[in-house]
């Protein structure tokens, strides 16, 4: 667990950035989106890319250049991020908005909805050709996948983060931000679903997951591979085959909250009590992160059946990190569905949206087979 320094560091960092002529806002918990300055007309043919900042390590700061794991996430603002990479202006007209400035472990349904609605509003305008979202890496894949399911446009939406804070030797944030803007500005990035750009790789939000606590190459799509790479130029070499963005069934414009869906881990000697606790706390769905192919112990299955009888949707996923959880009559008889190839944290995102449309296990299974 990365220790987080207190705001004192933030204050010092703020002074450093102000001294360097960067305007920035010290760590703010919740800031309304500042209206982005009107983007200049595209006289030079460069596209307009909006950068929506949410915090994370990419906006992190530490007291020493050698601190790579102990820092304050969300310590600097979007203007400082942009001004640290002036080369961005060679690939796009950029303007920034600070949606929130938090560690992504604190990202929640309310902020997720606010971010996705802001993305959709911006993309409706001809003034926006693409969007980059800077985000903490811990839950980046959940936000990226939520956008993959809710963005109503084929314009590029790219999520970027970093594994080292902005103050560290070898900070990876500036190059990740530059690559993300370059990808969002690339005509070939249109229609590919929400993308995740870190470490010179372009990944699909549907396939990518964080696989390492601290390594720069932590984001991997082990089974389906990356969909592109960045090596000065951008090379797309794969496509994501699931429904996404413009083809989505899910609407969020009238939604002001998402159903509570919890994740329960399966392990030796587990029981039914965590299912009972989820039901009692008001969950409408449960994702079971089971061993192997979503296997349930008798005790866990008893808890799952009781949850279904209480009106919840229960989806079997897997704690293995890879592979497809397949439907199984042993579980289908109890109306338990299978997460297909979605890991538990992404299965939760899809089930939340599915429950805004239906509680029918058969329709829910169709969504897991399609998205």
- Residues 24, 137, 194, 340: which binds ligand DGL (CB under 6 A)? 137
161 contributes a contact to ligand DGL by CB under 6 A? yes
138 annotated as a binding-site residue = yes
Q: Give the nearest residue (CB) to ligand DGL.
A: 136
Alpha carbons 192 and 71: distance in angstroms, whole number: 34
Of 210 and 244, which has the nearer Cβ to ligand DGL?
Answer: 210
Contact 261, 351 (CB under 8 A): yes
Q: 104: burial class by Cβ within 10 Å (0-12, 13-18, 19+)?
A: buried
356 is catalytic: no
Catalytic-labelled residue, pool 137, 143, 183, 337: 137
Asked if residue 192 lies in contact with residue 240, where contact means CB atoms within 8 angstroms, the answer is: yes
- CA–CA gap between residue 168 and residue 292 (Å, rounded): 39
Interface residue with ligand DGL among 23, 105, 237, 324 (CB under 6 A) is 105
| Size of site (CB under 6 A) for ligand DGL | 12
**In this chain, which stretch among 92-100, 102-110, 200-208, 278-286 interacts with ligand DGL, using CB under 6 A?**
102-110
Say whether residue 173 binds ligand DGL (CB under 6 A). no
Stretch that binds ligand DGL, among 93-101, 131-139, 228-236, 277-285 (CB under 6 A): 131-139
Going residue by residue from 288 to 317, which x/- string records binding to ligand DGL, judged by CB under 6 A? Answer: ------------------------------
Farthest-apart Cα atoms in the chain, separation: 66
**Per-position DSSP letters for 113-175, written without gaps between them:** HHHHHHHHHHHTSTT-SEEEEE--STTHHHHHHHHHHH----S-EEEE--SS-TTSTT--HHH
Residue found under tokens 């931000």: 177
Q: Does 56 bind ligand DGL (CB under 6 A)?
A: yes
- Token output for 236: 């797309």
Decide if 137 is catalytic: yes
Q: Which of residues 67-96 bind ligand DGL (CB under 6 A)?
A: 73
Written as six digits, the tokens of 283 are 């969950």
Instruction: Tell the smallest beta-carbon distance from residue 131 to ligand DGL (Å).
Output: 19
What count of other Cβ atoms lies within 10 Å of the Cβ of residue 127? Answer: 15
User: Is 310 marked as binding a ligand?
Assistant: no
| Binding residue for ligand DGL, selected from 79, 129, 138, 262, defined by CB under 6 A | 138
Q: H-type helices in the chain, by residue range?
A: 7-19, 78-83, 109-123, 140-150, 173-184, 273-280, 298-309, 329-332, 344-354, 361-370
**172 contributes a contact to ligand DGL by CB under 6 A:** no
Token digits of residue 156: 């590029």
Exposed e or buried b per residue across 328-349, where buried means at least 16 C-beta atoms within 10 angstroms of its C-beta: eeebeebbbbbbbbbbbbbbbb
Q: What is the nearest approach in angstroms of ligand DGL to the Cβ of residue 284?
A: 26
Q: How far is the CB of 203 from ligand DGL (least distance, A)?
A: 15
Structure tokens at 181: 């803007």
137 in a labelled binding site: yes
Q: Residue 57 interacts with ligand DGL (CB under 6 A)?
A: yes
Q: Give the residue numbers of the binding site.
A: 104, 137-138
Q: Give the residue numbers of the binding site for substrate.
A: 104, 137-138
Catalytic residues: 57, 137
Judged by the rule CB under 6 A, the positions of this chain that interact with ligand DGL are 2, 56-57, 73, 103-105, 136-138, 161, 163
């Amino acid at each position: 667990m990365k220790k987080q320094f207190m705001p004192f560091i933030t204050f010092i960092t703020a002074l450093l950035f102000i001294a360097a002529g960067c305007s920035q806002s010290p760590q703010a918990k919740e800031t309304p989106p500042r209206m982005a300055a009107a983007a200049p007309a595209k006289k030079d043919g460069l596209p307009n890319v909006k950068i929506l900042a949410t915090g994370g390590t990419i906006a992190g700061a530490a007291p020493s250049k050698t601190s790579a794991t102990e820092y304050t996430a969300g310590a600097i603002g979007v203007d400082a991020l942009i001004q640290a990479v002036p080369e961005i202006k060679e690939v796009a007209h950029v303007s920034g908005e600070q949606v929130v400035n938090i560690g992504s472990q604190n990202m929640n349904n309310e902020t997720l909805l606010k971010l996705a609605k802001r993305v959709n509003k911006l993309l409706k305008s001809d003034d926006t050709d693409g969007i980059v979202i800077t985000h903490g890496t811990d839950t980046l894949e959940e936000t990226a996948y939520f956008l993959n399911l809710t963005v109503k446009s084929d314009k590029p939406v790219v999520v970027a983060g970093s594994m080292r804070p902005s103050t560290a030797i070898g900070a990876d944030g500036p190059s990740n931000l530059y690559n993300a803007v370059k990808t969002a500005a690339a005509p070939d990035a249109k229609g590919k679903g929400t993308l995740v750009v870190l470490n010179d790789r372009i990944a699909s939000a549907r396939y990518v997951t964080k696989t390492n606590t601290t390594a720069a190459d932590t984001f991997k799509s082990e089974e389906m591979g990356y969909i592109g790479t960045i090596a000065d130029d951008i090379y797309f070499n794969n496509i994501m085959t699931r429904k996404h963005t413009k083809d989505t069934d899910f609407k969020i414009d009238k939604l002001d909250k998402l159903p509570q869906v919890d994740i329960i881990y399966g392990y030796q000697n587990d029981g039914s009590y965590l299912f009972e606790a989820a039901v009692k706390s008001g969950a409408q769905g449960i994702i079971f992160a089971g061993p192997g192919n979503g296997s349930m112990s008798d005790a866990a299955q008893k808890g799952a059946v009781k949850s279904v009888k209480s009106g919840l949707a229960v989806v079997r996923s897997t704690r293995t990190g890879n592979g497809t959880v397949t439907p199984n009559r042993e579980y289908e008889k109890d109306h338990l569905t299978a997460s297909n190839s979605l890991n538990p944290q992404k299965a939760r995102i899809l089930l939340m949206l599915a429950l805004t449309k239906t509680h029918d296990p058969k329709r829910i299974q169709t969504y897991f087979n399609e998205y």
